[in-house]
Structure formats: C-alpha cells, structure tokens
Chains A and B, each alone.
Chain A
Amino acid sequence: MPDTPTKPPRSTLRTVRLLIWGLAALAAIGFACLLLRPPSIGPGETVLTRAEPGFTLGGPFTLTGADGRPFSSAQQLANKAYALFFGFTNCPDVCPNTLGRLAKLRQDLGRGPQPFEIVFVSVDPERDTPEAVGKYAALFDTPIIGLTGTREQVEQVAKQHAIYQARVADPAAPGGYTVDHGSAVLLFGRDGKFVGTIALEEGDAPALDKLRRITA
C-alpha cells in the first residue's frame, strides 16, 4: 500500500493557500469591524455618533458646577469612570427617569458606594443656573454631578459628545419652551475614553454589563 496519496499539483496547493490567507484576511477585517463599530444599542436608538473622519467622542471639557465654580473634567473626573447624561431641569419625564435609573443601576452594580460618577449636563443654560442643576442633582438621594455653563460652553460639550439639542416652543412649558435632546447615556472608562452608551429603551441587564466594563 503506498502511504502517500497522489500529491495535488503545486498550482492547486498555491490556490488553496491563497484561499486560506484570503479567508483569514476577511475574518480579520470582520473582527476589526466588530470591534470598531459603535457599541450595540437598543431599538429606536439609531443615530449616536456621526462617523466624521477624525471625530473622537468625548475629550476634556469645562463647565460650571453646582457651586458656581468652573468644573474641569480633566481634573475633577481624572481616573474616574463616569456616565454622562444631557438634559434640563424643567424636563419632567425622561430626565428624572434616566437619572433615577442610573442611581439605581449604580446601587445594583454593588461595587462600593460610587464605582462611577453620574454627570448631568444641562442643555438649557438659560433656565438652569448652577443652583438649579445642583438642586436637581440632589433630588436622587445619591451624589450626582450637575453641570451647566454658558450657551457656547454647553453647545460645545454637546457637540463633543454628538448630542443633539434644540429649543422648541411649547406654550404649556415654563418659559414657553422645551428642549429636544439626545437621550443616550454615554459611558467613559477611567482613562476618559468613550466605551459605549446606555439607550433609554435598553434593559437593565445589558446596561449593568456595560457599567461592569467601565468599572472593572
């Protein structure tokens, strides 16, 4: 019995080798796409980041704290994981619900009293004084950093985080307007890098998974 089966011709071997390398390259590209794609988000949450070349979500920002003094993220959030949410204090529905939910998720995470910071940025600086955001942040019985600023500052920080915000007339609202705004919670690791989002519609289990990741 000849122990060697007939060798395939060299050209076939080369084709097979090329094919395998081709598949490996495809797999690598696919994997890279998986890694690079925006974090998985819930239904209804389709526009988060504009894929403009060179656009990096996040980065240091300066606003005004509830004490009326400048708040520098580079200093005051250094080496801290944080969850960032944009809203306004006259928002009676979604904003308190989101902040209350974050407070509860932080508790449920069970990693000490403050494994990450909850940061609330007002997109309504005309109505939201430092005092107003401070009072609002204090509503949830857990430390929440409430921030506001000048119109220019707030717009800059929203832009930096790809958060849409626009004033809309509403005669029933205080001051005659409400504010449309991006509703996602943005998550940042201790290195200040954007990790993912928690969407409004998302369940608690995937949200907790993401919070575990930023606080690991």
Chain B
Amino acid sequence: MRILSAVAVLAVLATPALAKAPTLHVQGWARATIAGQNGSAAYLTIHNAGPGADRLLAVTTPTAASATLHNSTSVGGVMRMRGAGPQAIAHGQLLRMRSGGLHVMLNGVKAPLRAGARLPLTLRFERAGLVRTSVPIQMSAPHAGHAH
C-alpha cells in the first residue's frame, strides 16, 4: 500500500516534466535608435506549434536595462500605454505584436540599436522555458511602416 501511494505521488510529480513542452517560433523586429535615445520597442510574432498552450511571461535582452510587455490602445483618439501581463498562446495560435498594440518596451538601451544589426532576446514561457532568439533592427515595420 505504502509503495503504491509512493508510486502515485511520483507519477503526479513526474507528469509536468514528462509532458512535452510546446515549440514556439519567434519572429519580429526592433526599432532602431540613435545616440542619446534610450527607449525603443520590439514587435514579435510568436507561433505556438504545440503541443498544448503556453504563456509568454517575460522578455529580456542584454542590450537594454529593461524589457517589459506593454500594450498601446487608442480609444477616442487618445493613445494610452500600459504594462501588460503574461500572454497566453493556445496551440496553433499566433501572438502578434504591432505598433499601436502589444509590444516589448525597451528602456535603458545601452548602445544605439543600429538598423541592419540584430537584437538578442530571451523569452521566458511558462512551459517551454527560455527561448533565445534575435530579431533584425529596422527603422520601421517590415511592410511600409503602417500600423496594421
């Protein structure tokens, strides 16, 4: 009996470790800066190839003092920007950041982000753990700089 319950406890403990973490594909870009400018933003598109759902908890980069998820909203012609919490991404879904919406706010950029270079990023997911990537640095969004 005691052995049986020990096995059961072990099985419960082992379940999260055994469950395969989802695979997340990250693309995106970061806005270039010039000397003296210490804030910028990165826009990521994250595809959850599964299995299962995951949540983006945080983003870090060695290039900036802080990287935080922020959401811009425009209601009644007034632009507001607020800190955003973890972002759930269901299996097969895309989390799409964009200017005027969800973005990674970069503060305390240590050296100018030069167009053509890449910004290294580490994304922390609830299940997939750390995902390391880099995105190109550009003057504006890949398609004509439009908000959509």
Q: Which residues of A contact B (CB under 8 A)?
A: 41, 44-48, 89-94, 96-97, 100-101, 104, 132, 135-136, 138-139, 141, 164, 168, 170-174, 178, 180-184, 199-201, 203-204
B133 at the interface (CB under 8 A from A): no
B78 touches A180 (CB 8 A): yes
B87 at interface, CB cutoff 8 A:
no
State the majority secondary structure of interface residues on A. loop
A199 cross-chain contacts in B, Cβ below 8 A: 77
Contact yes or no, B108 A174, CB < 8 A: yes
8 contacts between A and B (CB under 8 A): A93-B81, A94-B72, A97-B141, A135-B35, A168-B80, A172-B68, A182-B78, A184-B77
Q: What are the 8 A-B residue pairs with the smallest beta carbon separation, nearest first?
A: A183-B79, A172-B68, A97-B99, A92-B41, A47-B76, A92-B39, A180-B80, A100-B140
Interface residues of chain B, those whose CB is within 8 Å of chain A, are 31, 33-41, 66, 68, 70, 72, 74-83, 99-100, 103, 105-108, 139-141, 144-148
Contact residues in A for B76 (Cβ distance below 8 Å):
44-47
Instruction: Give, as a whole number of angstroms, the nearest-CB distance from A130 to chain B.
Output: 13
Closest to A104 in B: B145
Contact B107 A174 (CB under 8 A): yes
Contacts known (A93-B103, A93-B105, A184-B77); A135 close to B36, Cβ less than 8 A: yes
User: Which chain B residues lie closer than 8 Å to A200 at the CB level?
Assistant: 74, 79, 100, 147
Chain A residues near B74: list those with CB within 8 A: 44-45, 94, 183, 200-201
Distance between A80 CB and nearest chain B CB, rounded to angstroms: 24
Separation in Å of the A176 CB from the closest CB of chain B?
Answer: 11
Find out whether the CB atom of A172 lies under 8 angstroms from the CB atom of B147.
Answer: no
Q: A101-B145, A174-B38, A174-B39 are in contact. Are A93 and B70 (CB under 8 A)?
A: yes
A101 to B145: give the CA distance in the assembly, Å: 6
B residues less than 8 Å from A168 (CB atoms) = 80, 82
B residues in contact with A92, CB < 8 Å: 31, 39-41, 103, 105-107
- Nearest A residue to B101 via CB reads A93
Known contacts A100-B139, A104-B140, A139-B37; decide if A204 and B146 are in contact (CB<8 Å).
yes
Q: Is the CB of B105 within 8 A of A173?
A: yes
**CB atoms of A93 and B145 under 8 A apart:** no
Chain B hits for A178, CB < 8 A: 81
CB of B63 to closest CB in A, whole Å = 14
Whole-angstrom distance between the Cβ of B131 and the nearest chain A Cβ: 21
Complex CA gap A181/B70 in Å reads 16
For A41, the chain B residues whose CB sits under 8 A away are 77
